[in-house]
Amino acid sequence: MKKIILIGRSEAGKTTLTQALKGEKIQYHKTQYVNNFDVIIDTPGEYAQTAHLGRALALYTYEAQVVGLLLAATEPYSLYPPCITSMTNRDTVGIVTKINDGKANVERAERWLRLTGCKKIFYVDSKTGEGIPEILEYLAEEGDVLPWEDTKTNKNNTELC
């Protein structure tokens, strides 16, 4: 699978999405440092929210083939400036999280991610699993077996990372 780095502010849903992509039980866990798994890099929100730490994110993007900019549908503002995707030489996708929250405004979050330059947008509710298969299919490379495709050859069919 292609490796993805998840970037977003605190509480955007990066770690919850990481757990969902790995097929793990969803439980709250505050990310204190960069977690570099086989195909996912989960970053602390403070790295995206602090200018000096943001430089570290730029370096970590070189370890991934895909940059995922997360924006919760409940956010009152966007952390990302317009056209920021032009700053990376990696595929950059937008990921709208918390799409089923009662305070969600999915269309607004999508507009903000499109302003950054994201052409591909995923809509995710990590707790229900909505949108997870689409991300896994996007990250899959030739020869990868996705969890739902073949349980005989993929014995541990829920853990991908």
pTM exceeds 0.75, yes or no: yes
Helix (H, G, I), strand (E, B) or coil at 136: helix
pLDDT class for 57, splitting at 50, 70, 90?
confident
**pLDDT category of residue 37 using cuts at 50, 70 and 90:** confident
Domains annotated for the chain, with CATH where assigned, are 4-139 (3.40.50.300)
Listed in sequence order, the DSSP H helices in 22-116 are: 45-49, 51-60, 106-116
Q: With bands split at pLDDT 50, 70 and 90, how would you rate the model's confidence at 108?
A: very high
By DSSP bridging, strand 4-7 and strand 40-42 are parallel
